[in-house]
Amino acid sequence: MSAIEVILVDHLDRPTGKMEKLEVHEKGLLHRAITVYVFNSRLEILLQRRASDKYHCGGLWSNTCCGHPYPLESTQDAAERRLREEMGMTLKLQPVFELSYNLPLSNGLTEHEYGHVFFAISDELPQMNPEEADDYRYQSVTDIEQQIKQAPEQFTPWFLHTFPRIPAFLAAFTASN
């Protein structure tokens, strides 16, 4: 993995420095992240299955895409960049909410992130980058809720943490768009 730097932040998302991405995850330090949810016109969520050789959570289902802003990059630009890089989609994303979490991963890494969550609605089909994702599907919120109850181990920890907030924010998002 190349030496990509991420933005370290405090609990109010104020930058405190920068550090290499893998080191941040090894040390469990709080850093800025982005999470993207794309919905189709039926309000089904575009899920991706992370490529099996990713350095963590490979083969697990997750939100449309996620990642980290580079130092000096806005969260908006980072979210739109990651959507292009992972799913081959160029969409105007809207910031919807922020949250913080500290989640252990199975390989000794930690996702300690201050996350900025973005939404978009589009019927465009993804053109996945095979280094990032190896499958996708559109799925209703209700079907995802059932699948999580039956097999939560099929999903990334951050998806399990953010997904319960999605229905309420989706209702507000669609009402305002």
Catalytically active residues are 66, 113
Q: What are the angstrom distances between the C-alpha of 86 and each of 9, 16, 81, 114?
A: 25, 28, 9, 21
Residue identified by tokens 């895409």 is 65
Q: Establish whether 11 is an annotated binding residue.
A: no
Q: Establish whether 68 is an annotated binding residue.
A: yes
Q: Establish whether 113 is an annotated binding residue.
A: yes
Q: Establish whether 112 is an annotated binding residue.
A: no
Class of residue 61 by CB neighbours under 10 A (exposed 0-12, middle 13-18, buried 19+): buried
Q: What are the angstrom distances between the C-alpha of 38 and each of 2, 8, 56, 159, 173?
A: 28, 27, 22, 14, 12
